[in-house]
A and B are shown apart, each in its own frame.
Chain A
Amino acid sequence: MALEGLRILDFTRLGFGAQATLICGCLGAEVIRVESTLHPDAIRVMPPYIAEPGERGEGFGAATLANAAGAASANRGGIFYKYNTGGKRSITVDARHPKGLALLKDLVAVSDVVTESFAAGTFARWGLGYDVLRQIRPDIIYVSMCGFGHSGPDVSHVTMGPTAQALTGLTFMVGLPDRPPAGWSFSYLDHVGGYLGAVAILTGLLHRRRTGEGQHLDVSQLEPATALSGALLLDAALNNRPSRRAGYPTGNRRLHPPTAPAGAYRAAGTDNWLVISCRTEAHWQALVAAMDRPAWTTDPRFASLTGRVEHANALDALLETWTSVRDRYEAMHLLQAAGVPAGAVQDAADRLERDPQLAARGHFTSLGNAEVSPLPLEGVPFRMSATPPHTGGLLHRGPPLLGEDTAAVLAELLGMTADDVELLASEGVLS
């Protein structure tokens, strides 16, 4: 695997940081999650819970309140399983115990990368700031992943995905004209921030290989997002056309390139939708033919792309008379066979159960652990011919139970015996 031999001592929590080390784990890096039984990662103990056999777990929602204290196990928080594939291992160490801190320093000495996602300053207060880390190992690659990063006037600000999405324009970019933004229902920037965290780890690795030097890579959840708005910044600054203006954002329509018909159209059934997007004359002609040439398609208003864009509302209403009586998948396949870009709006159940492409690509990998039966989990969505990534990482295993690898890691990396580990545990160091 591509990153075989790279060891990451991983203190990240929640989604943003864990996404970065997940990617590296799937690429073969050895990722050792350093966790705490006293303060478990919130996504280990919050709903939605993976059900006991034969029962249904709780949904997500107001239930997030019946939190940590109420969780029966630190191994059933569903979101943990999204972010902790990659063959990650888990050890528990109390960093506030002097012996725990010493142990962590010993682990730093034999690691290539240290990752963490605490509030700025927290890790340093534990006694593990970059200055300390590089005394222990001068070429250490230290990747901090924190909402606003580790410098700047608002360094104390905290983020979750939706916070960063609001601040960087991404929430604003989802919505219908002249209504408040609809935004995202999930933390897109936990993913994107995590991708850039993985890029930062790889940057550290490549730079170290060239120069022999380590460094501190300071990843925030804001900076990875600013380039996601594409041309909008430039259009505002150069053409004096701010995106905060009447009529923008334009729902599912795209101003560039002009495309019509384009959007989500009702399909048969309740709240089923089909996306169609005709960018070219060929797409339009193929659509007309696939629909068996309804009379309205000969309307002179729709004779050119310019006309179709200008009369998009009328066009959409007419097109919907065709889509709304058709099954979304049947219509999608009919249109695709004719050469029209089209796709069903799929939710999570559809992806898992009704998407033959994801199934054929092996998108989901069945992985579990001693407490949780195998689940179809996601890893990295690309293939490599010489160094194939694996959702279960180098060890081909599922997300770790809290602390399940403590004894094994201390034995392998620090040469500790079972008695050594037992003693530390009895002193509360391994909690």
Chain B
Amino acid sequence: MSGPLEGIRVLELSDGTTHYGGRLLAGLGADVVLAEPADGSPARAVGPFLDDIPGIDRSLAFWADNVGKRSLIVDEDADLLELLAAADVLLHSLRPADAQRRALSFAALSARFPELIVCALTPFGQDGPWADYLADDLVLMALGGSMAGCGYGPGADGLYDTAPLACQEDQAFRTAATYAAIAVLAAVAWRADPGRSDTGRGENQRGQFIDVSAHECSASMTEWHLMSYLCSGETYKRGPHPTLTGADGRQIAALTPDFLGPHVFTRMLEMLEADDVAGALSDPAFADPRHRAKNYGEVWRALKRLAQKHSAEELYRMGQKAGLPWGVIRSPEETLDDRHLAARGHFVALEHPELDRAVTYPGAPFLASGSPWVMERRPPLLGEHTAEVRSQWSAPR
């Protein structure tokens, strides 16, 4: 068994924002090679660092997103072109003007390499009035709409005393990099499709240009917010989401999705009655969703009585037993102890021989019975594979 992208060569030329997408392609079996400047990908300079000692090969941020890749140092763009002659995909983060200046625009590349798939991930895409604007992830989370929907609620006076909030760890760029990977997969599939649709550009023009705008990606990930506005004319005002605090002070996400049907309340009531906290909810009037909607405070008070008696972990299990989509709020590292993920073999330890230690990474994002996730290489040292890649990629395939 082998990855579905086995034999596909991806050259990644990046400020770091594409790394997460390159990692997905590597997990699918592609030969993903980072083309790095002599001082390394900018991501290598981002902490935290191993043992808090900065170093070109010690960035944990770099490690997290570069599992499974190789690294080669490219000093000059002429060398890059040589490599591109052997590549299937160029994944890059160059602004349009920079690509143009370096003769790496798609027009220039496709004239030489008609089969090359070029994917550019940029903050705002290749064109439009903001194409040259600057953005880090925080700016993208603001413009895209995630922030407007996240944060603490207003005070008693209805005014907000805290700002809208963005999630840590670059979620807008991760979404964009995921879309980049999807588009590359689609382009690879089309390129190899013997029955592919004709674009009128001739048989050998099988490459193409993929233009990923991180702003658009960020703007399309707020689920119901746009539709809610289109339907009601009102925009969502940020505020608390449904949580319960357990006896141990930890919290759970406590959704009560009545909209899925009457069974949701029935089973919740059974759980509450078994714990002697149902109170007024045992009144048959509460079986009527309209009555419940008007008196939802009673439902919530009963749930709070339940929460006071149990730890968050217990509440999570109790809710799930009653068919409720409850989940304990964990910190990211607490997932490492999750028995379910462990049983599915999710986390994978990779040897870092130069450190004489193994490091545990998140593994397959899904389980594939026929083409398991490829996860064998630890993230590359800077330039570790320069000679090896040059030799392999210059040989006839």
Contact = CB atoms under 8 A, between A and B. Distances in A.
A281 interface: no
A238 B325 contact: no
A65 B291 CA distance: 10
A382 B216 CA distance: 8
A200 B368 contact: yes
Nearest to B63: A234
Contact of A357 (B65, B130, B346): B130
B208 A348 contact: no
Interface stretch (A223-231, A300-308, A407-415, A418-426): A223-231
Interface in A223-264: 223-224, 226-239, 241-244, 249-252, 254-257, 259, 262-264
A361 B128 contact: yes
Contact of A211 (B236, B340, B370): B370
B368 A217 contact: yes
A64 interface: yes
B396 to A, nearest CB: 21
Contact of B189 (A169, A206, A254, A266): A206
Given A65-B289, A342-B139, A387-B199, A42 B260 contact: yes
A228 B171 CA distance: 7
B47 A255 contact: yes
Interface residues of A, number: 174
Given A199-B185, A273-B164, A387-B208, A235 B344 contact: no
A382 B152 contact: no
B164 A257 contact: no
B175 A191 contact: yes
B4 A203 contact: yes
A218 B364 CA distance: 11
A149 B185 CA distance: 23
A4 B290 CA distance: 47
A347 B189 CA distance: 36
B335 A3 contact: no
A203 B367 contact: no
A240 to B, nearest CB: 10
A383 B179 CA distance: 10
Contacts of A5: 193, 195
Given A169-B334, A202-B189, A231-B64, A185 B253 contact: no
Contact of B253 (A156, A165, A191, A266): A165
A345 interface: yes
B143 to A, nearest CB: 4
Contacts of B192: 206, 209
A389 B10 CA distance: 22
A355 B143 contact: yes
Contacts of B166: 174, 252, 264
Contacts of A236: 331-333, 336
A127 interface: no
Given A160-B325, A343-B139, A378-B220, A185 B190 contact: no
4 nearest A-B residue pairs (beta carbon): A215-B370, A169-B332, A381-B216, A236-B333
Contacts of A64: 257-259
B185 A345 contact: no
Contacts of A179: 152
Contacts of A219: 365-366
B151 interface: yes
A134 to B, nearest CB: 10
Interface string B109-134: 00000000000000011111111011
Given A166-B327, A169-B334, A184 B205 contact: no
A50 B231 contact: yes
